[in-house]
Structure 1
Amino acid sequence: MYQLAFQLKTAPPPSIDNYVIGQNRELVATIEEFLKGRSDIRFLYLWGLANSGKTHLLRAAGAAWEALGHGVCYDIRLIEGHTLNDELCVCVDDIDHLNADEQIEFFNIYNEIRNCGGRMVVTGSQPLSALDLRADVLTRLGWGLVYQVLPLDDAQKTEALVEYAKLRGFDMSTEVIAFVLARYPRDLRSLIALLDGLDRYSMELKRSVTIPLVKSFFDVND
């Protein structure tokens, strides 16, 4: 029952505030300047491995831009529903998944956004030099700022989870975190959702968060 409840739980929506910076301090500072509307920071390409946090940052930037009262488009197929002006931000996740026709559409939208003063955040799994995309698309992406999103190492994840547990009002030892990291999804959003579930479970049972409790939460018998 608890495992099912955990799987159905929605993780906190991505935001700049709940992003753990790690080695990406310069990148986050750039996004903050991007959100201030600086004219020299309008196009960002973020690349990194799976679960490095690039989609989190794209969604967080989009949400923050929208919270300022501006328009955001997350799907280039729906661009016609938006007004092309200097208040629009287009967010394209996983550009390396675009097919040939979608790449042409992206190329055209990029040019329109550039001409109208809008903004764009794009993510991909590889640096520009390794992407298998149209040459004109790669050229456009290279006109903006390019950042590699560096994933958190285990020590940084442990530190982040310890601090998050404190904010929730409970203690979680490094031994418990090491147990979790060795057995469950390692991206931070999943780990934070896990901590939320463990917190509720431990309060219901009136027990501390220990390795036996984590095993019980997932019905692990080892």
Structure 2
Amino acid sequence: MASIQVVEQLPLRVQLRDEATFENFYAKQDLEAVEQIKLASVQSGEQSIYICGGLGSGCSHLLQAACHEAQSNGLNSVYLPLDELVDYSPAVFESLEDLPVIALDNIQCVAGDAQWEEALFHLFNRMRDAGGRMIFAANASLDELGIELPDLLSRLKWGLVYEFDDPDEEYKMSVLQLRGHNRGLEISPEVAKYVVRQVEGDMENMFEVLQKLDHASLSAQRKLTRPFVKAVMQW
């Protein structure tokens, strides 16, 4: 139980997002990667999976989805965004091998740091010996990540490796329509394109807009049309 206590004490601001599920993930050409992550989330398939992609490619979503899936199957898991942990001690990795599923996000933030790399190397070995599953995500390929510890780099290459494309307009439209559909909100291609072209920033901004539109649509009992969206968002 030591690992559970360590996880509960971690000073994280970001927890699992309720909407970060496999059902809410639009897989364009990444079906194999999604399927393998699903298997890992129930302690099956490959022990190590590395995924990478730019902002909005869905890597963080999939890691959190894996933890949701693990928990729904009665398995303990943890999602660790290393961009939030890098200022703390690598000791946060201690005893985590007791967990069946570990998802480590933004590992580019510890690349090049000797202490963190060594700690991650030892965690990898302990997890593999214990039979657990590790899912890693970063914003660059393994060869471009900047890992300086050769043994760690070789370990990360042992498992499955997938690189996701940066989201284009068509992908964003499909994601918006899927998220809307799962909320019971139908979004036409015309409206989806209008929203995507108006929203600035990353995908999270688009999801915030969707939440506002969903609330406005329910309140006004109106379907989403371009004039209605324009009026609600004051675009």
User: For this structure pair, what is the TM-score category when the shorter chain's length is used for normalisation?
Assistant: 0.7 to 0.9
Q: How many residues align?
A: 208
- Give the CA RMSD over aligned residues: 2.6
The aligned amino acid for 1:24 is D
In structure 1, the residue matched to 2:5 is none
String of CA shifts for 1:90-138, please: whole Å, max 9, x gaps.
Answer: 2110111113321121111111111111110100111111111122221
1:101 aligns with 2:106: no
In structure 2, the residue matched to 1:121 is 135
CA distance in 1, matches of 2:39, 2:181: 30
CA distance in 2, matches of 1:142, 1:111: 13
Instruction: Determine if contact 2:42/2:75 at 8 Å carries over to the other structure.
Output: no
In structure 2, the residue matched to 1:4 is none
Instruction: Determine if contact 1:14/1:56 at 8 Å carries over to the other structure.
Output: yes
Which has the larger displacement, 71-80 or 143-152? 71-80
Instruction: Determine if contact 1:11/1:192 at 8 Å carries over to the other structure.
Output: no
Gap runs ≥5 in structure 2: 1-15, 81-89
Distance 1:170 1:27, change over 3 A: closer
1:88 aligns with 2:100: yes
Instruction: Determine if contact 1:22/1:152 at 8 Å carries over to the other structure.
Output: no
3-state SS of 1:74 partner: strand
Please give the TM-score of this superposition, normalised by the length of structure 2.
0.76
Which has the larger displacement, 176-185 or 44-53? 176-185
Cα deviation for residue 65 of structure 1 reads 1.4
Q: How does 1:1-222 map to 2 (within 5 A)?
A: 12-38=18-44, 40-75=45-80, 77-80=91-94, 82=96, 84-85=97-98, 87-98=99-110, 99-134=113-148, 135-185=150-200, 188=203, 190-220=205-235
Please give the TM-score of this superposition, normalised by the length of structure 1.
0.80
Cα deviation for residue 184 of structure 1 reads 0.8
3-state SS of 1:143 partner: coil
3-state SS of 2:51 partner: strand
CA distance in 2, matches of 1:62, 1:195: 24
Instruction: Determine if contact 1:44/1:146 at 8 Å carries over to the other structure.
Output: yes
Distance 1:46 1:73, change over 3 A: same
Cα deviation for residue 19 of structure 1 reads 0.8
Cα deviation for residue 171 of structure 1 reads 4.1
Which has the larger displacement, 140-149 or 176-185? 176-185
3-state SS of 1:161 partner: helix
Identity score, percent: 27
Structure number with bigger Rg: 1
In structure 1, the residue matched to 2:7 is none
The aligned amino acid for 2:68 is A
In structure 1, the residue matched to 2:13 is none
Cα deviation for residue 49 of structure 1 reads 1.2
